[in-house]
Amino acid sequence: MPELPDVVVYIEALEARVLNHTLENIRIASPFVLRSVTPAPSVLLGKKVRAIRRLGKQIVFAFDGEHFLVIHLMIAGRLQWREQNASLTGKIGLAAFDFDSGTLILTEAGSKKRASLHVVKGEAALKTFDRQALEVIDSALQDFESALRGENHTLKRSLTDPRLFSGIGNAFSDEILHHARLSPMKQTSRMSEEEVRRLWESTRSVLGEWVARLRSQAGSEFPSKVTAFRPEMAVHGRFGKPCPRCGAPVQRIVYAENECNYCAPCQTEGRLLADRAISRLLKEDWPRSLEEMEKHIEQRRN
């Protein structure tokens, strides 16, 4: 799922292409992508884009007359910029927005169509899409701590909760926790003041660095390689590969459709974490450390 750094760079690329430009036509290939009924999308035709905002991981186009188009890319949604009136992209093309400056195409790979479009009228209606989560990059330590300690959850869950922190998902929560040297399973109620500060600093640092990195990679081009898995990442999507800090193999916990990646020596004092299914299956046989895991592997070889 595109997270804060990707969405910020998307918005900057869109501002350069559609700000103060007129929307001339909308083509919707998949009826499931449009989740609102009134006003109809046609109300946007002939109107100019006056601003583009970010609400969490959502992209909001503000048109004349307080009309708004809200795009949520979800997991597999992506944006493409093409020449004016370009055709939709095969089976993955969901919708096309023809501006007087070019065409914005919304695509979604895979069979599960989760990306969405909403057209709303007025700031009050738009506010229903805003979860009022904390914008960490611009936050004060006190506000960050208040959001973090408001509910007792694991750090992984808290960082990815869209009600608490804006724009952070599965990928960058892994990177933030590795940078902060904190376990993804640590309870927020057990955080020391020093750990909270470290997490706050790491969150701001990682997100800021990745915005700058993706901005530099895109340059003047429209972002075309938006993915949750990047070779420059420290741990996310790098199961089994060496941690860039200590060289130990990156570990993971798989749950539902996501996975949590971490380095045991750097984040959990060398302890291996097990998801609930593995814990129930293996019980006491689950290795508790990298050393135990290596012994298990060696025993199997012999």
Going from N- to C-terminal start, the domains of the chain cover 4-127, 136-285
Residue 30 pLDDT class (50, 70, 90 cuts) = confident
Q: How far apart are CA 135 and CA 151, in angstroms?
A: 18
- Cα-Cα-Cα-Cα dihedral sign, residues 273, 274, 275, 276: negative
Residue 230 pLDDT class (50, 70, 90 cuts) = very high
Residue 280 pLDDT class (50, 70, 90 cuts) = very low
If one counts every other C-beta atom within 10 angstroms of the C-beta of residue 100, the result is 11
Closest by Cα among 88, 111, 112, 202 to 155: 202
Q: What is the pLDDT, as a whole number, of residue 48?
A: 98
Q: How far is CA 228 from CA 25, 67, 129, 171, 241, in A?
A: 31, 31, 24, 6, 17
Q: What is the pLDDT, as a whole number, of residue 274?
A: 77
Residue 180 in this model has a pLDDT that exceeds 50: yes
Paired sense of beta strands 49-55 and 102-108, if any:
unpaired
Q: How far apart are CA 278 and CA 13, in angstroms?
A: 44
Task: Name the phi and psi angles at 114, rounded to 5.
Answer: -115, -20
Residue 35 pLDDT class (50, 70, 90 cuts) = very high
Task: Give the list of residues 6+ apart from residue 176 with CB closer than 8 angstroms, or none.
Answer: 159, 168, 199, 202, 203, 206, 207
CB 131 within 8 A of CB 164: no
Q: What is the pLDDT, as a whole number, of residue 258?
A: 79
Task: Give the list of residues 6+ apart from residue 23 with CB closer than 8 angstroms, or none.
Answer: 44, 45, 46, 47, 48, 49, 63, 97, 98, 99
Q: Which CATH class is domain 4-127?
A: alpha beta
* Average pLDDT of span 19-26: 98
Which H/E stretch holds residue 24? strand 23-28
Longest C-alpha distance within the chain, in Å? 73
Q: What is the pLDDT, as a whole number, of residue 255?
A: 75
Mean pLDDT of the chain: 91
The torsion region of residue 18 among left (phi > 0), alpha (psi -120 to 50) and beta comes to alpha
Q: How far apart are CA 155 and CA 186, in angstroms?
A: 6
Residue 254 pLDDT class (50, 70, 90 cuts) = confident
Residue 293 pLDDT class (50, 70, 90 cuts) = very low
- DSSP code at position 248: P
Share of the chain above pLDDT 70, in %: 90
- DSSP code at position 53: E
Residue 285 in this model has a pLDDT that exceeds 70: no
Q: How far apart are CA 1 and CA 172, in angstroms?
A: 10
Q: What is the pLDDT, as a whole number, of residue 286?
A: 45
Residue 90 in this model has a pLDDT that exceeds 90: no
CATH 3.40.190.290 fits 136-285, yes or no: no
Residue 278 in this model has a pLDDT that exceeds 70: no
Q: What is the pLDDT, as a whole number, of residue 281?
A: 40
Strands (E) across 42-180 are located at 49-55, 58-63, 67-72, 77-82, 93-99, 102-108, 116-121
Residue 275 pLDDT class (50, 70, 90 cuts) = low
Q: How far is CA 165 from CA 52, 131, 204, 296, in A?
A: 20, 9, 12, 39
Tell me the one-letter amino acid at 141.
Answer: L
Residue 259 pLDDT class (50, 70, 90 cuts) = confident
Q: What is the pLDDT, as a whole number, of residue 207?
A: 98
Paired sense of beta strands 49-55 and 23-28, if any:
unpaired
Q: What is the pLDDT, as a whole number, of residue 297?
A: 40
Say whether 136-285 and 4-127 share the same fold: no
Which H/E stretch holds residue 260? strand 258-262
